Amino acid sequence: MAPLNTDGPCLRRAAATDSGGDGRAKEEEEEEEDYYKVEIVWANIGKFVALHSFALAGVMLLPRTNWKTVAMEVLCYYLSTLV
């Protein structure tokens, strides 16, 4: 079993209120420390756009494939889940 993480915001907030007083100033400081700025990673966005474009191109080619190829793909898909 994993050890209990005592650095979580819920436990710190509980410790701040248990210490006497209202603990509100300490809680507000901790919320400011826990602030997380979302960053857009443009390289990842480009990779995902390319990946989804290739997937869409592959799906568009499915009607043109031989039925035996599609049957083999389905068989391989189901057999891969057995391992």
Residue 9: CB partners within 8 Å, gap ≥ 6?
A: 30, 31, 34
**Residue given tokens 């031989």 in the structure block:** 66
Report how far apart, in Å, the C-alpha atoms of 25 and of each of 5, 19, 34, 69, 81 are: 23, 13, 14, 66, 53
Residue 23 has pLDDT above 80, yes or no: no
**Residue given tokens 């889940």 in the structure block:** 81
Average pLDDT over residues 31-47: 86
Average pLDDT over residues 38-59: 96
Least confident of 23-37, 44-58, 60-74: 23-37
Average pLDDT over residues 46-69: 94
Q: Where are the domains of the chain?
A: 1-36, 42-80
CB 70 within 8 A of CB 62: yes
Residue 50 has pLDDT above 90, yes or no: yes
Higher pLDDT, 76 or 30: 76
| Cα–Cα distance, 72 to 76 (Å, whole number) | 6
